Amino acid sequence: MNCVFCAIADGQLPAHIVHEDEHFLVLLDIFPLRPAHLLIVAKGHAPLLADLPPVAREALLALADRVGQALYRSDPGVLGINFLINDGPVANQHVPHLHLHLIPRRTGDLAALCWRILTRFLPLGRKRIEARLQREAQLLRSALQ
């Protein structure tokens, strides 16, 4: 199997992990739509939400709430969060492994969000984004403690 999230969970690929529990990893998206864009990734390979073991599926929303509260605490500019699961390829799921996006939203950020949707996979400003991810990871780890 060649799954990027399984490789991250197995420690074979690097990631900006901000939290880990028995079922999930919480990490920063390396192609963020907005600053502090997080992913809650199932530790075990589960392509779709229905493939998650029931105990993990039940824990997902509680963890999403906890991580969302940490996003609000870490940045007073965060005034809302988009919670998004793309469940299957037709739903725009790029990696066939269950993951929940938490996309922090700030006042007036719609134009920047639309621009990132169009350009997120281009190598524009990668060094700047990587430096920002380092800072965000540390801030979010603290907020989740």
Question: Which residue in the list 23, 37, 97, 99 is annotated as catalytic?
Answer: 99
Distance CA 133, CA 114 (A): 20
Q: b/e string for 132-143 if b means 16 or more Cβ within 10 A?
A: ebeebbebbbeb
Q: What SS3 class is residue 128?
A: helix
DSSP letter at 46 equals -
87 Cβ neighbours under 8 A, 6+ residues apart: 48, 49, 93, 98
Respond yes or no: is residue 37 known to be catalytic: no
Which residues participate in catalysis according to the annotation? 99
